[in-house]
Chain A
Amino acid sequence: MATSSEEVLLVVKRVRQKKQDGALYLMAERVAWAPEGKDRFSVSHLYADIRCQKISPDGKSKIQLQLVLHTGETTNFHFTSESSAMKDRDAAKDLLQQLLPKFKRKANKELEEKNRMLQEDPLLFQLYKDLVVSQVISAEEFWANRVSMNSVDHSLTNSKQEVGISAAFLADVRPQTDGCNGLRYNLTSDIIESIFRTYPAVKQKYGENVPHNLTEKEFWTRFFQSHYFHRDRISTGSQDLFAECGKLDEQGLKSMVGQGVRNSMVDLTSLEDKSLDEGYGISSGPSTSSHNKTLKENSNAAIIKRFNHHSAMVLATGLRKQDAQNEQNGETSSTDGNSKDSDFFQPSVKKVKLQEAIEYADLEQENGRKPVALNLKKSDRYSHGPTPVQCQQYATSQDIINSVNCIRHEIADYTPRLTQVLSSSTASTAIAALSPGGVLMQGGTQQAINQMVPNDTQCELKHLYVAAGELLRHFWSCFPVNTPFLEEKVVKMRSNLERFQVTKLCPFQEKMQRQYLSTNLTGHLEEMLQTAYNKFHAWQTRRMLRKT
């Protein structure tokens, strides 16, 4: 049974686990379950091992609670009491909800962190497989450098950007017909959050009424039923919970319009929408006063007003966050975008903008800023450029005259004899020289090394290099050896290198020999390892000498 020092916080009878009746016990540090009639716990989990709990949805016939452990295992508990199954389950859930956060182990977070890093970086994963899984180095050494690096990065990634609100969030709540004259709205927590952020008045109402007067479900039902939500918002009787919200919105909109846009470059009031006729432009006659508008125009105006108000509120949520940060500076914040504009159009900025609009740089007069002229004294050097002197063959003028006469005579009698251009023997020698292995084809094979070695061998070689590089980096970072810790590490790294050579490099070389690859792909790797061994040997002999 439970140890005598354990305090039992909650006992729930009639809980089935794996089709066996029993009772669930929640203790101070663990949750356990014992079958009916037995007094030993068959299932016991420490709160520290539990990652999260899940409950079955409300409509289901089976009332269940599931515990998910860090290792991925799940345990299901089925509450079967006829009268109070739901209450039992909820009580257990609430208690667990309070207890679990206290026991979240920090060490597991590190494990998750490591897993995340391995999953994100395939190279790291490959290195891990090569070095740790094949036991060349131990896991602690592998993580020794890396975990410290990444804890810094993690804090940086925590400051993520806030997700904004989609302007269509209300429209996205598409109701589904319930079959019999009803509508079903699916509200997720995202939508609820969007509604609260955009309409603080609704949030206020929620805070006032839930859970004292109404349940959450009732609140939202009323919300969607109210005319506040619907298109043609004509304020009806004050029974509606949200009529006040409607009035607040009207006031808010009026104040926004009253503030206007404090941008001296823009004059919004001169925009009119009174057109003469279709396609005939705008008439500048006196605008019709509002009571001449038809009923249809009035309701259209209402919708447009509401639409504008909604958009303004959505935009304001983004700015409200910035303003909340700016409050430390003592700035007054307003909930619409006007404050930004007024800051933006300070006199200096306005002046710059006016100047930009007036001046055109290429219409100005040239500023007589003359560039420095290039003054070349020996420009004939450029005619031959950076070429070395080549011995020119000197021809005497007599030679030249002779040659010219000779060629003139020859060409004067020239007729093309295209059937006697080439004899077969000369052609064959030429072809032999041009065939692979011929005189002119030397140096070709060395360039095709990446075509001669198969792809998987290349990949393996790359992995070997990465792994060897990692080990060698650890090895060489130990020098100069000042502390006893470094001494131990050097010795360990040397044995690691040897192990690497035996377990990884030699099989690779044998495999290459079996494939008759004559190119020496591992020569450089061996050279690097040998240099490391030599250094270690030199260090060791020096240490021996110092000791004696």
Chain B
Amino acid sequence: MASDDELSLLVIVVDVNPIWWGQQAQREPEFTLSKCMDAVMVMSNAHLVMTRSNKLAIIASHCRESHFLYPNKHWKAGDFAGDESSCGSRDGKYELLTVGNDLISEEIKNLMERTEVRGQQTETLLAGSLAKALCYIHRVTKELDAGQEMKSRILVIKAADDSALQYMNFMNVIFAAQKQSILIDACVLDADSGLLQQACDITGGLYLKVPQKIALAQYLLWVFLPDSDQRSQLVLPPPVHVDYRAACFCHRNLIEIGYVCSVCLSIFCNFSPICTTCETAFKIALPHAMKAKKKKLKPTT
């Protein structure tokens, strides 16, 4: 119908780490997971209402799995099957929104009910959720009609801390998103996350650490609802300065100048004749005058 048929797909990845949210419920009872889900629902309804052709997906990122809250594979748009009481909209809302909200709340309840935390699995599987989001975007892109274009972005609402072990997967996801021109926005509730800062910087998205959690809905609507074309016309928070310094593999200290093994690409702060990761031997033939500058030279094989 409309001549400007560019679709916009928003994928919201919500961090529902039960341990963090449980502790949060005890710390700050006025902002709990229920409130957070309400804010997410407001944002998603607003997105769907902005343009008729907008699409939405919501993924819950748990410590055991990543689960799609919306859309549900057993549900098709326009399918109002169910008992009489849930049929139709109770408060005059657009039916799609009613059904969507019901779906989301049901799914999150089921997800939390079957939560079992075992052993060391206390960290959010954020890299996995992002990978699922990318796959979903890819699938929807393939299912488009010929001639239709789609712009997609991912909004990450992050609660718990970064998981250091997911670094490699995370970086792969970021670069894949950059290749596909998919923006990654980040809304951080608790502690600053270096990985998400890098993600936003590389893909061109926005990073925001929310100062007041109870006003989450307002921040989401103000900053993250407009898409990338509209953002250039708006005055939004300026980008954060990202610390791209690497940490050495031996001490995990941030360094500015270091040595890189040319075989395995591991980073060290001091020169050693054998790389501890891949056991390659290095030699540097230094003339006496250059000894003072030794720290700035990179090893050659």
Contacts and interface: CB of A to CB of B under 8 A. Distances in A.
Interface of A: 374-379, 381-390, 392-393, 395, 399-408, 410-412, 414-418, 420-422, 426-427, 429-431, 433-434, 436, 439-444, 447
A429 to B, nearest CB: 7
A375 B261 CA distance: 13
Given A386-B247, A402-B22, A422-B39, 19 more contacts: A377-B276, A387-B194, A388-B247, A388-B254, A389-B247, A404-B117, A406-B25, A407-B115, A410-B25, A411-B33, A412-B109, A414-B105, A416-B41, A417-B38, A421-B217, A427-B215, A433-B211, A434-B236, A434-B237
Interface stretch (B5-13, B51-59, B143-151, B163-171): B163-171
Contacts of A404: 18-19, 22, 115-117
B237 A421 contact: no
The 4 closest A-B pairs by CB, nearest first: A403-B22, A386-B246, A430-B215, A385-B167
Interface in B45-73: 45
B23 A439 contact: no
A386 B248 contact: yes
Contacts of A427: 215, 218
Contact of A421 (B38, B115, B171): B38
A420 B266 CA distance: 52
A125 to B, nearest CB: 37
B247 A378 contact: no
Contact of A431 (B23, B222, B252, B279): B222
Interface centre among A406, A429, A444 (most CB of B within 10 A): A406
Contact of B237 (A379, A416, A440): A440
Contacts of B18: 403-404, 407-408
Nearest to A445: B238
B264 interface: yes
A445 to B, nearest CB: 9
A474 to B, nearest CB: 32
A410 B32 contact: yes
Contacts of B35: 421
Contacts of A386: 246-249, 267
Contacts of A405: 22
Contacts of B25: 403, 406-407, 410
Nearest to B20: A403
A442 to B, nearest CB: 8
B208 interface: yes
Contact of A403 (B23, B171, B247): B23
A442 B211 CA distance: 14
B117 A414 contact: no
B26 A406 contact: yes
A20 B23 CA distance: 112
Interface centre among A401, A403, A411, A420 (most CB of B within 10 A): A411
Nearest to A419: B91
A385 B168 contact: yes
Interface string B211-234: 110110111001100000000000
A259 B276 CA distance: 72
A278 to B, nearest CB: 42
A386 B33 CA distance: 33
Contacts of A414: 33-34, 37, 105, 108-109
A463 to B, nearest CB: 31
Interface of B: 18-23, 25-26, 32-35, 37-39, 41-42, 45, 101, 104-105, 108-109, 112-113, 115-117, 122, 161-162, 164-165, 167-168, 171, 194-195, 208, 211-212, 214-215, 217-219, 222-223, 235-238, 246-249, 252-254, 263-264, 266-267, 276-279
17 contacts: A378-B277, A381-B266, A383-B167, A386-B267, A388-B252, A388-B253, A388-B254, A400-B117, A406-B26, A408-B18, A410-B25, A414-B108, A416-B41, A426-B218, A429-B212, A430-B212, A441-B235
Interface centre among A389, A418, A439 (most CB of B within 10 A): A418
Contacts of A422: 39, 214-215, 217-218
A399 B122 CA distance: 12
A382 B265 CA distance: 10
Contacts of B41: 416, 418
A433 B195 CA distance: 25
Contacts of B218: 422, 426-427, 430-431
Contacts of A434: 219, 222-223, 236-237
A439 B21 contact: no
Contacts of B235: 436, 441, 444
A390 B219 CA distance: 28
A533 B155 CA distance: 56
Nearest to B266: A381
Contacts of A410: 25, 32-34
Given A386-B248, A405-B22, A410-B32, A416 B38 contact: yes
A159 to B, nearest CB: 42
B235 to A, nearest CB: 6
Nearest to A423: B214
Interface centre among B25, B113, B116 (most CB of A within 10 A): B25
Given A395-B122, A444-B237, A430 B219 contact: yes
B215 A415 contact: no
B254 A440 contact: no
B253 to A, nearest CB: 7
B187 to A, nearest CB: 12
A411 B109 CA distance: 6
A453 B194 CA distance: 34
B185 to A, nearest CB: 15
Nearest to B23: A403
B212 A426 contact: yes
